[in-house]
Structure 1
Amino acid sequence: MRNKRYSYVGITASCPNVRLLAHLRNAVRRLYPLELISIMGIGTSVPAYCLDQEDALRRLREALKERPEVARWAQRIFTHCGVDTRYTCEPNLLEPANRCRYVPSTPELTIPTTEERMTLYQKESILLAVEAAQKALADSRNRPQDITHLIMVSCTGLFLPGLDAELIWRLDLRGDVHRVPLTFMGCAAGLTALRQSEEIVRREPEARVLVVTVELCTLHIQPSFDKEHLFTAAFFGDGASACVVGMTDREHSVGFAIRKSNSVMLPNTLDKMKWTVGNYGFQLHLSPEIPGLIAKEVPEVFKSFWGDDSLPAFWAIHPGGRGIIDSLQSAFHLSDSQTGASRSILRQYGNMSSATILFVLAQLREDQFRTNEGFKDGVALAFGPGMTVELMRISYQP
């Protein structure tokens, strides 16, 4: 008796039994799944006030006119950190040095306290988060009532009821939406939220997860001419971003699909990034060893995660600073075009902590759509306190 012929997704086989056919079908589905966990839509927002780097440096030099050595050091940092513009929710940061409450020459009684900064955070963070979320919902073509899970991310402010509760009412989300607040986790938390959304959708294929991140980093500029404080004041900015993650049909999926993800803590690095509450906002410590540690440790972490496949075609690197991008470009021998999106976001917006990675992904999506080069494999990387490395394998679906 002749064997029957079967065809599945372009593969034709002569199969003596149904078990072999089922095996072939399962193998094809693993390689080319009919449904994908996708970033269905992205939205971003920034405050109204733009900090031009040259103008900020001019006003800082004015404040440092009695400290020429520190002024020269600040000049180098502000000029070479890779930032041209940033955005802030605090208009006072655009005032001349003698009227800016955040410079050390300001009388102590007028320096904004942590309480004042948190009051401004509560007001401005809600507005930015709502705007980014509305854009993500529109971009994904989801209605607010479609959302089953809300992941809210921030490390630059706290209040209760929190941003998650505010968003439910302001966006008209369902009252029974599952809320997952990720607070005080630092720059890597935007990718942490994407990883958690992937895990949710993998467990619950009907889920629609709204991820919202908002960071007002400039509220924590310290009234100090200490070099470490001046360094962090040089490249952090404010912004919010959001996305919707859900299962989509391969034929109708356009944008980024999430393939897999992981999070790894690097040993003996707990003291390299610190974020603590002070009397005048939150105080940030970033070790100058961070770029070197990333160049040394991340290639092995990446190899374990990625396997023996060819290196990714595109890279979404969290632009935590110019040194971090430089170290990864050197370690993986990346082209300028492969780091272009990360450098572009750093140049235009600075480091917006957890919100930044979705800005980079939005830029990459625009780039991929414009070049129209078809399916591509990529990776997203972010780094946070711990030190934590977040990794995500993604693909662009044209």
Structure 2
Amino acid sequence: MKSTNSVKIKTVAKALPEFSRETADILPFLDVWLHGQDERFRRKVKKIFEGAAVDKRYAFMDPAAVFSNLSFQERNDNYISEGIKLGTACLTDALKKADWKPTDIDFLITVSCTGIMIPSLDAYLINNLKLRQDVVRLPVTEMGCAAGVSGIIYAKNFLKANPGKRAAVIAVESPTATFQLNDFSMANIVSAAIFGDGAACVLLSSHNDDEGPEIIAEEMYHFYDAEEMMGFKMTNTGLKMVLDVAVPETIEAHFPDILHPFLAKNNLSIKDIDHLIFHPGGKKIVQMVEGLFGELGKNIDDTKEVLRLFGNMSSATVLYVLERFMDRHPAKGEKGLMLSFGPGFSAQRVLLQW
């Protein structure tokens, strides 16, 4: 039975940057980048790229530009111009898929953490698509990979309080814009190996006429004293990746607390969940989570496939996973659990029912 004033996900659309490369094609760029470094170190870096479970990635700029001595300003300018283009494309596409007009949007949320722009992306989308002048806008900039789910949570709360309204969440990310040419730390290398660029849009509704999986619960979970584990450090050369090697095991330690109480509050256990819509942080996190879910008889095949095809696109990635499930039109009554992790350190969860 559908609850009164339910909030549903209407559709998801993605937009891919114009540049792309297979991982094998990136290895020659590593030779140039690592020129003069110790031979064993160079072999190690290549192994990290080859073993990252990412076959292909897309980028706002050509790999030659990524591995060049571009200034922070040049990288950020590219993030802005391409981001506006991709944000416009995925919102336009989503509206077309939903058969909505731009003026149907009441609440506009943009999420991104891989560059800096003021005014934020939403201002450009309002102008490019001629959204209404009274549209409510919320830019979310500092929640990292978790922000795709965060945006859905904020949209859900707005729509729950405002029946008959419609919202768009647009995630646009360019982790390649944060690559640091003179940083040979593991954090920079691992992030270069797992991250790619991308954009996605999810449309949500509290309008009675709109169909789609209903958001039946949502919750955030904050790890105490883990602020230093993941994020960006602002430096003179741009946003420098902070990535603690202990991230997977820290998630693993918290995993039962993240999962079971949330489901129990909704009178569910993991066996009741049909679809795991999980953000692929990287190979190690995916393997760890796969092990935990495997014991519970569940798979995260779509998560692995999105990582393989696109890499980790920060906040946009979980929306690519969601799109795969939406396109398969799960049976009525089936349930999905969206889960993503981000700096803070935090986990964000959304429970869906088709």
Shift of 1:310: 3.2
1:179-225 Cα deviation digits (max 9, x unpaired): 11111221101100000110011100122111111011111111133
Shift of 1:238: 0.8
| Counterpart code for 1:165 | A
Q: 1:87 to 1:393 in 2, by over 3 A?
A: same
Q: Stretches of 4+ moved more than 6 A in 1?
A: none
Whether 1:298 and 2:242 are equivalent positions in the alignment is no
The 1-side partners of 2:129 and 2:298 are apart by 37
Sequence identity (%): 29
Report if the CA contact (8 A) 1:261-1:391 is conserved: yes
Q: Secondary structure at the match of 1:283?
A: strand
**Count of residue pairs brought into register by the alignment:** 348
Shift of 1:306: 0.7
Q: Which residue of 2 aligns with 1:288?
A: 245
Shift of 1:346: 0.6
Correspondent of 2:67 among 98, 102, 106? 102
Report which structure shows greater RCO (CA 8 Å, sep ≥6): 2
| Counterpart code for 2:43 | R
Q: Which residue of 2 aligns with 1:113?
A: 71
The 2-side partners of 1:332 and 1:47 are apart by 32
The 2-side partners of 1:324 and 1:285 are apart by 16
Correspondent of 2:25 among 49, 52, 55? 55
1:41-86 Cα deviation digits (max 9, x unpaired): 2111011100210111233135435421111211221111110000
Report if the CA contact (8 A) 2:111-2:141 is conserved: yes
Q: Which moved more, 1:134-143 or 1:325-334?
A: 325-334
Q: 1:87 to 1:179 in 2, by over 3 A?
A: same
Q: 1:121 to 1:356 in 2, by over 3 A?
A: same
Q: 1:300 to 1:335 in 2, by over 3 A?
A: closer
Whether 1:81 and 2:52 are equivalent positions in the alignment is yes
Larger radius of gyration: 1
Q: Which residue of 2 aligns with 1:11?
A: none
Q: Which residue of 1 aligns with 2:216?
A: 259
Whether 1:340 and 2:301 are equivalent positions in the alignment is yes
Whether 1:133 and 2:91 are equivalent positions in the alignment is yes
1:85-110 Cα deviation digits (max 9, x unpaired): 0001112x1x3xxxx5735xxxxxxx
Q: Which residue of 2 aligns with 1:203?
A: 161
Shift of 1:113: 1.5
Report if the CA contact (8 A) 2:33-2:67 is conserved: no
Q: Which residue of 2 aligns with 1:149?
A: 107
Report if the CA contact (8 A) 1:132-1:241 is conserved: yes
Q: Secondary structure at the match of 1:188?
A: helix
The 2-side partners of 1:286 and 1:233 are apart by 12
RMSD over aligned Cα atoms: 1.9
The 2-side partners of 1:62 and 1:128 are apart by 30
Q: Secondary structure at the match of 2:145?
A: coil
Q: Could you tell me which runs of 5 or more consecutive residues in structure 2 were left unpaired when the two chains were aligned.
A: none
Report if the CA contact (8 A) 2:278-2:340 is conserved: yes
Whether 1:242 and 2:213 are equivalent positions in the alignment is no
